[in-house]
Amino acid sequence: LCLLLSLLLQLPSSQAKCYFQAKAPCEYEGKQFSLGESWLSTNCLLCTCLHPIGVGCCETTQHPIDFPDWCEAHYDSQTCQISVVQKANPTPPC
């Protein structure tokens, strides 16, 4: 179980934030999950059932940290992706 928790909290090449909810039920949108099963929440968290100790969730979105001042990050909740676009015209990427 400790190995599963440590694997959950490590997302390769990302600075994702992870959260652990002790005693949280392994269910999402009315569906029950078993130990080790995962689901993607509507707010783009990848959650894993760690029954009976709780639920661990990690952000799936990589956040850009270094881009020009004339650009800004746009978050798409449908795809769980962040793109960096021009402030003046958000169509072309930076």
Q: Summarize the confidence of residues 55-61 as an average pLDDT.
A: 91
Torsion of CA 66, 71, 76, 82, to 10 degrees: -20
Global confidence as pTM = 0.65
pLDDT > 90: percent of the chain:
52
Q: Tell me which residue has tokens 């169509």.
A: 91
| Least confident range of 12-16, 33-37, 61-65 | 12-16
Give the residue extent of every domain in the chain: 16-59, 61-93
Q: What is the mean pLDDT of residues 69-90?
A: 89
Q: 33, exposed or middle or buried, with CB in 10 Å at 0-12, 13-18, 19+? A: middle
Q: Report angle CA 7, 8, 9 to the nearest 5 degrees.
A: 90
The amino acid at 49: C
The bridge status of strand 81-86 relative to strand 38-40 is unpaired
Residue 2 φ/ψ, nearest 5 degrees: -65, -35
2.10.70.10, 3.30.70.260, 1.10.569.10, 3.30.930.10: CATH of 16-59: 2.10.70.10
